Chains A and B, each alone.
Chain A
Amino acid sequence: MQRPVSSLSLNPGVKVKLVSAGFQFTTDLLHVKPQQLSKEAALNQQEALEVLQAVRRADEGAASSSSTALELLQKEEEELRSIVTFSSQLDAALGGGAPVGRVTEVCGVPGVGKTQLCLQLAVDAQVPRCFGGVGGQVVYIDTEGSFLIQRVADLAAAAVNHCSLLVEDQEQRVAMETFTVESILSNMFVVRCHDYIELLAELHLMPGFLSDHPRVRLLVIDSVASPFRPLFDELLQRTRLLSGFAQQLLSMATSHDIAVVITNQMTTRVQGAQSQLVPALGDSWGHAATIRLLLQWEGPQRLAIIVKSPCHRVSTVRYTITSEGFRDAEQWSEPLSQSETGKQGV
């Protein structure tokens, strides 16, 4: 079976022109010169070149992107680490924190601590490698105006203080010289987006930015829900935009080795006589993130529940928010009776 030209990643108008000029399969284009193509298919020089490049890419591209699971395992063990949350219980449940190379979604009602967790991660992503961190830079996209610089400075000071108490060797001593509140703040790129158009535009530019800033290890979007919520009336368009958005995030997380952390609000779903609090943005958005974390209140306590993850069991931990940031809930340090029927084994 030959590959049709219409399966190539090209402008639909260009593809129509190619087909109507009789170039239906990529094989028809293998031996054509750019000049000839532009004449026969009524394309401009640039378009003709793009077409031929796309054909060549399609011809050789596929084979190179594969790796065996064994190679992946080596990469996972050696290179991909997680960004700690400073809540040891949550870290343990997540296998180390927010994983680099994946998309993690944090859902919860207002005030439960979504933003606090994001700010904490934005600080923690910069913890030097010799302290078990990833020593990276951070891009923080704020869509709700909830990024408070003073709060970040407080969390940063607490983190610096925490690390300075752990110093044991020379390497760590040297690292501490550049791990300061100032350096933390200066390695955080904050973007304020007011609506979904700004957000989509920002995301479109992101791969270029990430290539220029290879030290970025974390991308935060707090939140995804608020810019997309006004689109509620155009459900189909929203679903389409969101699913494309999700794939972009995934692709960035994978190709630039960054942790992507996004937040989402909760909404009420009414089904018959029952109503239920569920993450916003609809069912299909539920597939967007690889890991879904639900933050919720239980009386005066805060709970973090891993509701979806391909590599962790479903589990629940308690946490608290102190003046220093996101921390374990102290009084209840013994783990909750983890549901015996966790999603997966050990």
Chain B
Amino acid sequence: MVVLREGMCPGLDEDLVRDLRNADIKTVEDLVSSDTEKLAQKCSVSYKALLAIRRVLLAQHTAFPVSGADLYEELLSSTAILSSGNPSLDKLLDSGFYTGELTELSGGPGSGKSQVCFAASVHISHHLKQSVVFVDTTGGLTAGRLLQMLEAETGSREEQMEALQRIHVFRLFDVFSLLDCLYGLRAGILQQASVGGGGGSVKAVIVDSVSAVIAPVLGGKQNEGMSLMTQVGGVLKTIAKDFNIAALVTNHVTRSLSGEVQPGLGMSWSHVPRTRILLERVEAASAGCSSLRSATLIKSSRQPCNIRVEFDLQRWSRSKRGSEEMRTPEEMDSA
């Protein structure tokens, strides 16, 4: 429902807007839905003129239908696959994060979600020389940690600084600020970031974590919370599609009644990510905490689900180890 205003389109002047209002036509929707012929008589305006206005308004307020062949053409030329910087994860992701899509990492506390996000940002900014928008909602991002990861990649201080300059960090802690930020990006800050940020266009938007800001608004005034969640999902997906960006979000996990671990935020959110990965700690046999993590593919349109790989969080430290991933397709009971 967009309110009719004078000057919205040629021919829609002050008088006509007033006449339309008197005829109980307030919004674009009202005008488009009404019988043009009768309305023209009521507002004493020519049928032809009103029809033209209707046509323009429709074109302004809807997306233009695109042929599938054209979409495919565009997709072939614009889709990029951004490596996560971790060969094991890339295997699950069918080579990496796809631009135009939303990927989700879920996992419990300390399961390595943030580390994967940091590593991906560093990989994209350093190796691919592209900009990254990193939205930190948990206060977990430290530039010092990013620098550590970069130091493991290159000894050149200059390259490290350049890479850090290509990572744009937003710190925000509630869902409205997140929406402000995402709609802001949508409205064109993305282009500015690419101009001001030391070269490279923004190729990835990372939100770590999306559940930290959504969970507090769910449950109470249910409709409002669910609506805000839908909007976060929607704006992330449009950003991904329209700007050809890989969107990556993290989510917490909940336990079902049977004790099974599943991604948080419920059923309605489950439709939002195209690809979902569950991260878990691998319990070490010896005492102490292990840095081994497992990643399980739980939703994908490209790969069979439930493929599982293991990787070591230390891989992003000083030495570059060989790939130690083990591919163990494991049976997991479906929920």
Contact = CB atoms under 8 A, between A and B. Distances in A.
Contact of A308 (B109, B144, B220, B224): B109
A6 B175 CA distance: 12
A333 to B, nearest CB: 20
Contacts of A72: 141-143, 169
Interface stretch (A153-161, A196-204, A239-247): A239-247
Contacts of A67: 168-169
B39 to A, nearest CB: 17
Contacts of A1: 186, 235, 238, 242
Given A62-B180, A283-B255, A68 B212 contact: no
Contact of A73 (B137, B143, B193): B143
Contacts of B224: 12
A61 B170 CA distance: 12
A76 B143 contact: yes
A31 to B, nearest CB: 7
B110 A343 contact: yes
B115 A344 contact: yes
Interface of A: 1, 3-4, 6-9, 12, 19, 22-25, 28, 31, 57-58, 61-63, 65-70, 72-73, 75-77, 101-103, 236-237, 239-240, 243-244, 246-248, 250-251, 253-254, 271, 283-284, 286-287, 290, 292, 305, 307-308, 310-311, 313-314, 316, 339, 341-346
Nearest to A342: B291
Contact of B314 (A8, A244, A345): A345
B141 A251 contact: no
Interface in B174-195: 174, 176-177, 179-181, 183-187, 189, 192-193
Contacts of B314: 341-342, 344-345
B169 A345 contact: no
Contact of B318 (A19, A283, A345): A345
B189 A63 contact: yes
B1 A246 contact: no
21 contacts: A7-B179, A8-B176, A9-B176, A61-B184, A63-B184, A69-B146, A70-B164, A76-B143, A237-B219, A240-B215, A240-B219, A243-B215, A284-B264, A308-B110, A310-B114, A310-B142, A313-B291, A339-B290, A342-B289, A344-B291, A344-B316
Given A62-B189, A346-B148, 5 more contacts: A66-B169, A69-B143, A254-B139, A290-B139, A344-B145
Nearest to A310: B140
Given A70-B164, A236-B219, A341-B290, A3 B183 contact: yes
Contacts of A31: 5
Nearest to A9: B176
B259 interface: yes
A307 B111 CA distance: 11
Nearest to B242: A1
Contact of B118 (A19, A246, A310): A310
B32 to A, nearest CB: 14
B59 interface: no
B47 interface: no
Q: Which 6 pairs between the two chains have the least Cβ-Cβ distance?
A: A345-B317, A62-B184, A286-B109, A9-B176, A339-B288, A73-B143
Interface string B212-229: 110110111101100110
B115 to A, nearest CB: 7
Given A76-B144, A344-B314, A310 B219 contact: no
B147 interface: yes
A210 to B, nearest CB: 15
A270 to B, nearest CB: 10
A283 B289 contact: no
Nearest to A253: B139
B215 A284 contact: yes
Nearest to B146: A69
Contact of B109 (A8, A61, A283, A314): A283
A103 to B, nearest CB: 6
B254 A290 contact: no
B308 interface: no
Contacts of A286: 108-110
Nearest to B261: A283
B27 interface: yes
Contacts of A68: 164-169, 197
A316 B146 CA distance: 24
A292 B138 CA distance: 13
Interface in B203-219: 209, 211-213, 215-216, 218-219
A65 to B, nearest CB: 6
Nearest to B30: A22
B171 A65 contact: yes
B139 A314 contact: no
Contacts of A248: 173
B152 A345 contact: yes
B253 interface: yes
B3 interface: yes
A327 B112 CA distance: 31
A128 to B, nearest CB: 25
B213 A69 contact: no
A258 to B, nearest CB: 12
Contacts of B167: 68-69
A233 to B, nearest CB: 15
B161 interface: yes
B174 to A, nearest CB: 6
A342 B115 CA distance: 13
Given A9-B176, A73-B147, A344 B313 contact: yes
Nearest to B112: A343
Contacts of B264: 284
Nearest to B253: A283
Contacts of A250: 137-139, 173
A243 B215 CA distance: 6
